[in-house]
Amino acid sequence: MNIILLGYPGSGKGTLAKDLSKTLDMVHVSTGDILRDEMAKKTPLGTEATSYMAGGRLVPDRLVMDMLKARLGTESRGLLFDGFPRTVAQAEALDAWFASRGQEIDAVVFLNVAESVVMARLGSRRTCTGCGKIYNVVSNPPAKEGVCDVCGKPLATREDDKVEVITRRIQVYKDQTEPLLAYYRASANFLEADGGKTPDAVTRDVLGLLRVKP
């Protein structure tokens, strides 16, 4: 099974993807996480991506596609895409790539959340610098302030979760990613979930939509 998660930055794709990929034994493909990993390792790709990401702009399609093909070329498990595709050009490139491998997209899950909600969530999001677990200082704080419950490492605000950058990411989503809703409504098994619920409820709803028993 191959699944695409769509929705605003802050709609809960990453949290849902971590849950679903465990339950369904799929590969969680977060292009944002992969790009941050390339940046941390200071690879040429990471270096090129840095200025786009810090400013809340999209990394060029070509870089993203090359990166994914290099990482996933030999993967045989199902793919759960989180944060990809983000442009119609990426969706078309994915279709072509899957066609060449005899694979298909089994479902596209749109996490529907109001813009005002994602703005608030992104501003209060904290990410573990050790294991990547996502917290929210308002709705889902760690037991001990600023420290990860799982691995004990410090939490940080992502560079692009700073207020100035959040506004640009929302606009980039509207301009470049939202057209994918129409693209996939027309071409794929398009499912929609209410992303305003708690993480557990969202996971349960999506498993129900996918007709998988939790």
With CB atoms as reference, the residue minimizing the distance to ligand ADP is 32
Output phi, psi for 4, to 5 deg.
-115, 130
Of 57, 71, 153, 158, which residue is the catalytic one? 158
**Structure token pair of residue 157:** 């605000």
Where does this chain touch Zn ion (CB under 5 A) — which range of 1-9, 61-69, 86-94, 133-141? 133-141
> Is 62 one of the annotated active-site residues of the chain?
no
Cis before 142? omega within 30:
no
- Tell me the number of residues near Zn ion by CB under 5 A: 7
Q: Does 53 bind ligand ADP (CB under 6 A)?
A: yes
Where does this chain touch ligand ADP (CB under 6 A) — which range of 19-27, 51-59, 140-148, 205-213? 51-59
Bridge pairing between strands 134-136 and 27-30: unpaired
Closest CA to 123 of 59, 188, 167, 79: 167
Output phi, psi for 196, to 5 deg.
-80, -5
String of contacts with Zn ion for each residue 163-182, x by CB under 5 A: --------------------
Q: Does 97 bind ligand ADP (CB under 6 A)?
A: no
Q: Does 155 bind Zn ion (CB under 5 A)?
A: no
Q: Does 133 bind ligand ADP (CB under 6 A)?
A: no
String of contacts with ligand ADP for each residue 168-207, x by CB under 6 A: -x--------------------------------------
- Let me know: does 127 contact 158? Beta carbons within 8 Å: yes
- Let me know: does 72 contact 29? Beta carbons within 8 Å: yes
Q: Which residue has the tokens 């060029």?
A: 60
Which one among 3, 67, 94, 160 touches ligand ADP, defined by CB under 6 A? 160
Binding site residues, ligand ADP, CB under 6 A: 9-10, 31-32, 35, 52-53, 56-59, 64, 83-84, 86, 90, 160, 169
Which sequence positions are flagged as catalytic? Answer: 13, 86, 125, 158, 169
Binding site residues, Zn ion, CB under 5 A: 128, 130-131, 133, 148, 150-151
